[in-house]
Amino acid sequence: MEEILLRGWDWDVDRVRVTQPSKEVRDNSSRLVRGLPKKLSVDLEARKRPARGLPGGFKALKAEIRGNVLVLRKSELESRDSQSVWLREELVRCAASCKAQTVRVEFASGPIVELRFASQEEAAVWFESIQMIANTRKVGLQDFQVCSPIGKGASGRVFLVKDRATGERMAMKVISKKDVFDSEGSLRHALDERLVLERCRGFPFIVQLCHAFQTEKNLYLLTEFAEGGDLFSYVKRRGGTLSEDEIRRI
């Protein structure tokens, strides 16, 4: 199967590679990016600086930080114009010039992009936000030790894993890309689950998303490990009803 990296899936850093996925995959992947929480948004000017030669002229663009994704676009993101969404694999370095009101962003697999803001204060805020994204810990399958299987559902298998760096136990859901791409419904379900977990971060009664990443064959979601199981299974074990005291305790 051709390798396809879904835009917006990765929690630590978002990546995009030159591929030719189907229109269905492109539309749903862009839909995920559109649904990510918007942290910052501003109208600015931007230009690319090639490795050799003179840089081009500045062009007016809309810049946004959605989740951990830097988006630069010409038109409304809701228009699903995938050509207007720039996502890069890995941020190498970021430099700011407060006097010139610019932030220069360098990516591992692309040109240097120079952003010019309306004020020094705006440039400083964006510089700090981009640096924060760049410093986020980037994880992969090699960072976790699989301890035991937890369960299997319609959309994937779940394993108890341990973070090799911190020792923290987490639940890791593994979703096969082959199964996901078999139907639009399966793809939408996987993307919606990923989106809901991020948008619900901070809610006390919902397991928190810790990491999301992908390999050539699978999508991965890592959440807090709830050792007591889920509420639905608990209610089912109790015969389908709970007393007021039990509900109050929960």
With beta carbons less than 8 A apart as the criterion, state whether 8 and 71 touch. Answer: no
State the residue for tokens 């410093």: 135
Taking alpha carbons only, the member of 145, 170, 167, 168 closest to residue 158 is: 170
- Rounded to 10 deg, the angle between the 23-35 and 184-199 helix axes is 10
Taking alpha carbons only, the member of 174, 171, 172, 173 closest to residue 225 is: 171
Which residues is 218 bridged to in the sheet? 176
State the residue for tokens 């996901």: 180
Taking alpha carbons only, the member of 218, 172, 223 closest to residue 6 is: 218
Angle at 247 between CA 241 and CA 250, to 5 degrees: 125
Cα–Cα distance, 234 to 250 (Å, whole number): 11
Element (H, E) at 199: helix 184-199
Residue 123: partners with Cβ closer than 8 Å, 6 or more residues away = 96, 97, 98, 101, 102, 103, 115, 117
Q: Is 152 annotated as a binding residue?
A: no
Cβ-based neighbour number of residue 240 at 10 Å: 7
Cα–Cα distance, 47 to 56 (Å, whole number): 6
Residues making up the binding site for ATP: 173
Binding site listing: 173
